[in-house]
Amino acid sequence: MTNQRNLILAVVLTGLLLLGWDAGIRYFYPQPVKPATVATAADVPAQPGREGGLPSAADAALDKQDLASALARGGRVPIVGPRVAGSINLTGAVIDDLTMTDHRVDLAKDSGPVRLFSPAGTPAQHFAQFGWVGEAIALPTAQTVWRAEGARLTPQTPVTLRWDNASGQSFAIRYAIDANYMITATQTVANRGANAAVIRPFALVNRTDRNASLDTFNVHAGPIGAFDGSVSFDNDYDDVAEAGTVAGKGRPGWIGFTDIYWMATLIPDATAPTSGDFRSLGNRTFRADLLYRPTALGAGQQVTRTTRLFAGAKEVDVLDAYEASGIANFSLAIDWGWFRWFEKPIFYLLDWLFRSIGNFGVAIICLTFIVRGLMFPIAQRQFASMAAMRAIQPKMKALQERYKDDKPTLQQKTMELYKEEKVNPLAGCLPIFLQIPVFFALYKVLIVAIEMRHQPFALWIKDLSAPDPLHILNLFGLLDFNPPAFLAIGVLAILLGITMWLQFKLNPAPVDPSQEIVFKIMPWLMMFVMAPFAAGLLIYWITSNILTIAQQWYLYRRHPQLAAQNEKDRQDKARAAARESGRDKAEPVKAATVKPAPAAKRTPSPRPSTPRKPKPRGR
């Protein structure tokens, strides 16, 4: 009855966990609401939450229309970089048209490049601007039309924009671009007038949060910056909207906005004091401001400030290179979390394996072989400890029988037995504990590293950073419905459950019946829990389970006494269960019919009996 009660309780708790897990996933990872009408712009799909993108198909269609209209007005200088393309708007000297040519919107080859910047007024507006504020001087504004010196911006051909006011002040912005995602803006103002002026250069990034990546408890998206050498992930868009203005805590090393994979940040001139803050402009629009200190500009003087704009993909090697060139903590723009000291080596190893092999799924499998190989000596000690634990089971049972009414003494004697026999009961848990950091590091790498985005494996697995796309309940997409998250069981999740069940099946039978029930339920529970996770993570776990099964088979051959004891324990449990079941059924009959034998029928002993010495218990 106790086992049945435990089983029922375990099933109920499993159901609650599944329902709670689904509710938690929906809370922390809300999915965009699908519109009632389908827009005609099918080639502008809404991206999932981790990718960013406009969640409404109607907004996506409107954005496409507004973007085409804005870019058709002319008055632009083309940007033609090795990895970016777009244009600079001469009205306002705004960089508001930028795409990343190395990254596609989705898996389709004709889906087009990912767009980072869009003009003001479009549903996905996102742009950067450089200018000045000041006193007693006519300054260029957002409506100012600049003249360009240069036909297009390339790494070999910088472009300079110029504008002169009627008071003798001349303004210039020289743009240069490197081979990746960095644009350098050199702002110069020369005072050729008779009067002094106070000039304050600025740079800003303006964007809406309508197309932002989802900010979750383990990956940040939103305002970001490095202040006094410390990278801040403290604020999200809601925080800025509530406060109105959020000032940076110290001198900015860089400041801007980040999605999970993309980022636009401003890096100030290291020779000039600056301040930075985030502002809410209303209507879900935000701005990151970089302000230099005011400079008094006398007649015949000029002042120059150089600000860099990073606008592109957060690729690890690119950010590392910029950090090595002097941008402090730039690589930490990727939200590795507290365990980056372990996650980044996992990434570097995976990236090296991928570059060597050419398939990221195979690289994950090779990583699993490396991890299991490094832990094989620990597994050997684990099995040796398990064999020793099995060998002392008779002594353990004797202690439990002797001190069944004295728990403190039983615990003391048990620890003495462990020490005497040199057995560590926790040795069997060590490989699991050692795998947890690897598992978490791989989980985080698959989420934050853009190098894993859209990486295929084989067959139906086209993106290892996304969940298994085939679900059993909709017959692998043949039925037109999407099952809820806790029922979205794919092939990989089923393989995970089966391999985990086989792994537990080969483990020595646990002494505690409750633990045995947990082991029976755990594989199928984890099948449901892990189904929504990235396919690459499930491939790692399945491979690890298969290697563990092979390792158990090998070590059982090395320790035949453990295999024999394991089989004997299972048989004993089966016989005990059968006896318990038979006793439960027969007890009422025995109580009614079985009587003790009459004392008169016992045969007396011919010799006087001598009292027996009690047998020692325990050893």
Domains in the chain (CATH in brackets) are: 57-333 (2.70.98.90), 344-563 (no CATH)
State residue 10 phi and psi, 5-degree precision: -65, -40
Share of the chain above pLDDT 70, in %: 78
For residues 509-520, average pLDDT: 65
Query: Mean pLDDT across the stretch 422-440?
Result: 70
High-pLDDT (> 90) share of the chain, %: 39
What's the pLDDT score for residue 432? 65
What is the average pLDDT value for the chain, to the nearest integer? 81
pLDDT in tens, 118-173: 999 999 999 999 999 987 788 999 999 999 999 999 999 999 999 999 888 999 99
**What six digits make up the tokens of 261?**
């994979």
Segment among 50-59, 361-370, 519-528 with least mean pLDDT: 50-59
pLDDT tens-digit readout, 477-486: 666 667 766 6
pLDDT of residue 292: 96
For residue 557, give both structure tokens.
């051959």
The mean pLDDT value for 571-590 works out to 64
What is the rounded average pLDDT of the residues 256-261?
95
Give the Cα separation of 493 and 553 in Å (integer): 24
Distance of CA 24 to the CA centre of its chain: 16
Q: Give the 3-state secondary structure percentages of the chain, helix then strand then coil, rounded to 5.
A: 40, 20, 35
**What is the mean predicted confidence (pLDDT) over 601-613?**
46
Longest Cα–Cα distance of the chain, Å, equals: 139
Determine the Cα–Cα distance for residues 529 and 537; give it in Å rounded to an integer: 12
C-alpha pair distances (Å), 558 with each of 164, 201, 493: 86, 74, 32
Q: What per-residue confidence (pLDDT) applies to 25?
A: 46
Confidence at residue 387, expressed as pLDDT on a 0 to 100 scale: 67
Q: What are 359's two structure tokens?
A: 């398939």
pLDDT of residue 54: 81
Least confident of 305-314, 413-422, 439-448, 591-600: 591-600
* CA pair distance 399, 94, nearest whole angstrom: 81
Tell me: pLDDT of 587 over 60.
no
pLDDT tens, residue by residue, 172-214: 999 999 999 999 999 999 988 888 888 999 999 999 999 998 8
Q: What is the pLDDT of residues 304-334, one digit of tens each?
A: 999 999 999 999 999 999 999 999 999 999 9
Predicted pLDDT at 543: 92
Integer Cα distance of 602 and 172 in angstroms: 120
pLDDT winner (highest mean) among 58-72, 302-316, 399-413: 302-316
Give the Cα separation of 259 and 116 in Å (integer): 10
Q: What is the pLDDT of residues 457-470, one digit of tens each?
A: 988 888 888 888 88
Strand, helix or coil for residue 605: coil
H-type helices in 449-559, by residue range? Answer: 491-506, 513-530, 535-558
C-alpha span between 286 and 206 (Å, rounded)? 6
Distances from the Cα of 79 to the Cαs of 117, 185, 460, in angstroms?
12, 14, 37
Which residues 6+ apart lie within 8 Å of 162 measured at CB?
Answer: 146, 147, 149, 170, 171, 172
Binned at pLDDT 50, 70 and 90, residue 253 comes out as very high
- Residue 56's contacts (CB-CB under 8 Å, 6 or more residues apart) are 32, 33, 35, 46
pLDDT at 508: 63
Average pLDDT over residues 260-283: 94
Q: What pLDDT, on the 0 to 100 scale, is given for residue 85?
A: 96
* Cα R_g (the chain), whole angstroms: 34
Does residue 227 register a pLDDT over 90?
A: yes
